[in-house]
């Protein structure tokens, strides 16, 4: 079975080159390198992972051969596109991880506060009933104060967490801006004419 480049694999499957590169990088799709260090993928291996929407004959059609004929600058262009694609994927993964982690921490803290509030409410109810029998108001106030201090401490932790979440949102927004720059750079690179690729 013949082998194809990442670009040809994308054409055969209808997937983007970034998707193909990500699959080879994660090990989902096996690949090799040729003498010029270009990534090659066996068609049978490609078909195992993704259904083919085109045949090898489609790749060899005259119009595509002329349009996609390699130029001296193509390896550099492909390498730059691959690099931008990898940065984009890494930034998106980092952003998703940060969002998920912050949401998980906030849920845990909110659950802890809810449990403490519930426990405090029950304790105060019990103390209210006990007032009919217990005359030691100072001891009661001290016990209630312990719970109130615990609640205030947790509320302070929540405030700190919200401040941290705000900083993380700023980081996430910065990551969004970087992603947008990467996307624009990738889009501009893909839309360069053959003349621009040859002579910059």
Predicted pLDDT of residue 65: 44
Q: Tokens 């449990």 belong to which residue?
A: 115
Query: Residue 33 pairs with which residues in a beta bridge?
Result: 39
In which residue are the tokens 């082998």 written? 3
Higher pLDDT, 36 or 190: 36
Q: Which CATH architecture has domain 3-69?
A: Orthogonal Bundle (1.10)
196 — pLDDT class (breaks 50, 70, 90): low
Return the pLDDT at 66.
Answer: 43
Q: Is the dihedral of CA 129, 134, 138, 143 positive or negative?
A: negative
97-150 pLDDT tens trace: 888 788 888 888 888 888 888 888 888 888 777 667 666 655 655 566 677 787
- Say yes or no to pLDDT of 7 above 50: yes
The stretch 44-59 carries a mean pLDDT of: 87
How many angstroms separate the CA atoms of 193 and 123, rounded?
A: 74
How far lies 198's CA from each of 8, 70, 159, 193, 195, in Å? Answer: 21, 10, 56, 9, 5
pLDDT given at position 12:
92
Q: Which residue reads 């090799």 in tokens?
A: 32
3-state DSSP assignment of residue 3: strand
Question: Does residue 68 carry a pLDDT above 60?
Answer: no
Is the Cβ–Cβ distance between 96 and 172 less than 8 Å?
A: no
Alpha helices in 31-136 (DSSP H): 43-49, 56-59, 62-67, 74-130
- The C-alpha atoms of residue 17 and residue 88 are separated, in whole angstroms, by 13
Q: Which residues pair with 39 in a beta bridge?
A: 33
Contact 131, 140 (CB under 8 A): yes
Residue identified by tokens 């970034």 is 18
């Amino acid at each position: 079975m013949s082998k194809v480049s990442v670009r040809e694999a994308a054409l055969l499957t209808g997937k983007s080159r970034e998707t193909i590169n990500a699959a080879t990088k994660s090990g989902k799709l096996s690949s090799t390198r040729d003498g010029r260090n270009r990534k090659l993928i066996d068609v049978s291996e490609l078909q195992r992972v993704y259904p083919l929407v085109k045949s090898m004959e489609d790749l060899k059609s005259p119009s595509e051969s002329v349009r996609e004929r390699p130029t001296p600058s193509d390896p550099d262009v492909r390498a730059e596109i691959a690099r931008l694609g990898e940065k984009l994927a890494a930034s998106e993964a980092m952003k998703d991880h940060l969002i998920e982690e912050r949401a998980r921490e906030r849920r845990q803290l909110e659950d802890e506060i809810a449990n403490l509030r519930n426990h405090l409410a029950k304790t105060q109810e019990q103390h209210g009933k006990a007032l009919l029998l217990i005359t030691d108001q100072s001891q009661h106030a001290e016990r209630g104060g312990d719970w109130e201090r615990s609640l205030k401490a947790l509320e302070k932790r929540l405030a700190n967490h919200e401040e941290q979440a705000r900083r993380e949102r700023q980081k996430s927004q910065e990551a969004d801006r970087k992603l947008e720059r990467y996307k624009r750079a990738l889009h501009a690179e893909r839309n360069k004419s053959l003349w621009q690729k040859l002579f910059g």
